[in-house]
Amino acid sequence: MQKYWGVILSVVLLASCKEEKPVEKEVAALVPIEKPVVVKHFGFDLNQFTVVNDTVRRGDSFGELMIQSKVEYPKIAEISQKYKDTFDVRKFNVGKPYLILKSKDTAETAQVFIYQNDPINYTVIDFRDSVVAYRKKQKVKYVEREAYGVIETSLSEAILQQGIDYNVTNNLSDIYAWSIDFFRLQKGDKFKVIYKEKYINDSIYAGAEPIEAAYFEHEGEPFYAFAYKTDSLKNITDYYDDTAKNLRRAFLKAPVKFSRISSRYNLNRRIAYYGNRVRPHRGTDYAAPIGTPILATANGTVIESTRRGGNGNYVKIRHNGTYTTQYLHMRKQNVRKGQFVKQGDVIGWVGMTGNTSGPHVCYRFWKNGRQVDPLREKLPSAEPIADSLKEGYLDFISPLKGQLDCMEFYEQPEEQLITENN
């Protein structure tokens, strides 16, 4: 019972304290204590270290850099042997950024080494206590972006004018590589794309994701494209149009990207090299700078990779019982006889070997053992989307198609046009 009275008494005392008149006293002004700002990067509080921020220079090696940072040799050896699958010390590439977090004492010994493989992926080597190495990723924010334009000179220029990542140009050309001849784009052709951009820490741009949906209008004909995963187990994504037809074909339109046709297939062509005599040209020449990658236009097996006469260095690929392709005047081949190659693989580089007056690749195309003009052939398409997936696909693309259709191309006001014309 006594303890309860103690509780009641303390309550009364508190109440009486509140009823007393306040006594005026001089109170010193309170000075807020500023807490140190915690600077975190790659998961470390940088305030706890002396930070060295640099890039790999020519002649640098991981071992020498760590020895200069007072890391014991056995620890360096342990990294090169035990963690070679995580961090290969031989692949210490020039230009790659890195951080060394050193102790804040007079010794300034390296505690942590952070190597940036790319803007998102990085490798941490922690020398504190027992040595450990691991890979991590920066937190990435994805921002959807819409882009559209009208071609005045070239696709790449139209895209760069909008401040779009140049990789979007490559992605767009890959999507339509089987449907549109990008060497023959017309002024006034139009495009629309929906894709996502990646940002680190909400502000550092880290590249563009593959295009999710696109619209290309070539010579007045519309071409839709939507990325759709048809095989989740194999993680296979392909592009289909608004009717569920696969945009991919058995052959690419050309063996090089962003080049130009310098000479077409022509059985009556006169060649200056041979005294302006009529000599059939059974190939299509694509002019491009020396060193430009040459791509296999379809899956197949290399049946020749050699050098011979006027052909120079060349590669010949058998795709099936019907089709064979050949690529002449290479600077160097990148494949060997008997090797299987996939569509888009680099099989060599543009050069000037053999009889040629300028750098180009002569692309030859056989159908049933006879050389034909590939630009006039109706090449087979890839398999369409399966009937069992078609309904789900059409539901999936419906909002994306609506989003593309709502994107309007910019048109100059009539008043501005009149002013410019005057």
- In angstroms, rounded to a whole number, what is the distance separating the alpha carbons of residues 361 and 43? 50
pLDDT of residue 415: 39
Closest to 325 (Cα-Cα) out of 269, 284, 264? 284
pLDDT block averages, 10 residues each, the chain of length 422: 39 40 54 62 89 93 93 91 89 92 92 92 92 91 90 81 81 80 79 92 86 91 91 74 85 83 71 64 88 91 93 93 92 94 92 90 91 82 80 94 87 41 40
pLDDT score, position 4: 39
Q: Which two tokens mark 399?
A: 């909002």
- pLDDT value, residue 275: 65
Nearest-angstrom CA–CA distance, 147 and 166: 13
Cα dihedral sign, 169-171-177-180: negative
Spatial distance between the Cα atoms of 223 and 215, rounded to a whole number of angstroms: 6
Q: Which amino acid is at 40?
A: K
pLDDT of residue 26: 57
Do 151 and 187 touch, CB atoms closer than 8 A?
yes
Gap between the Cα atoms of 271 and 279, Å rounded: 7
- Report the predicted TM-score, pTM, of the whole model to 2 decimal places: 0.58
All domains in the chain, ordered by first residue = 40-137 (3.10.450.350), 141-240 (3.10.450.350), 260-376 (2.70.70.10)
